[in-house]
Amino acid sequence: MRVIVLLAWKDLLIEARTRELLSSMSLVAFLTVVILGLAVGAEPLAAARVTPAILWVTVAFGATLGLARSHAIDQERQALQGILLTPVGRAEIFLGKCAANFILIVALQAVVVVVTAVFIDAEAGHRAALLAPPLVLGAVGFAAVGTLLGAMTATTRLRELLLPILLLPVVLPVIIVSLTGVARVLGGAGLGVLAGPLKLLAAYDVIFVLLGAWLFEYVVGE
């Protein structure tokens, strides 16, 4: 566990010093929400219907961009290759990288919720606490799959194109279930109604994290 925390802290410390990933992800998310908000217009009912989709479309777009750039930075600086030479388990490296990506995605989700509440649907801000469980659990699965596939495509010249093509179909079940939970929250449901989607999200997260930890060794060994 200590190794995982240190590896995650290393990535987060680099990001804190450079502010390269979160700033670009947040800017893209902000512009995406504003454009979608202008498309929705001033119709409250229309905004309420599309807010869950806007949240996840924006998060998926921004997070995919961030994941691709994160692995590109590691590849350019030979950081991952250096870590692979140390006596650290491949599963621990995956979990550390996944944890750092998860924290960045959650930070992005917080930005998206705030911007959405300001420009599209104020209900997103009023019910932010209840939005957190489906969004955060969705971020776990997204980070796990994105970390694995990001490492797989990092050495290719078309990584920015290949990653979303591979990532989004695989992580689609997580997005759909999380969307269901977000829609219920914005529809006025309480935490008890979220039990079904949250349990399904937790199951998906466990599967994706375990598969990622197992397959990562083969991905970086190629």
Q: What tens digit of pLDDT does each residue of 132-146 get?
A: 999 999 999 999 999
Top-confidence residue, 22 or 85:
22
Give the pLDDT confidence score for residue 106 in this predicted structure. Answer: 94
Q: What is the 3-state secondary structure (H, E, C) of the chain?
A: CHHHHHHHHHHHHHHHHHCCHHHHHHHHHHHHHHHHHHHHCCCHHHHHHHHHHHHHHHHHHHHHHHHHHHHHHHHHCCHHHHHHCCCCCHHHHHHHHHHHHHHHHHHHHHHHHHHHHHHCCCHHHHCHHHHHHHHHHHHHHHHHHHHHHHHHHCCCCCHHHHHHHHHHHHHHHHHHHHHHHHHHHHCCCCHHHHHHHHHHHHHHHHHHHHHHHHHHHHHHHC
pTM comes to 0.89
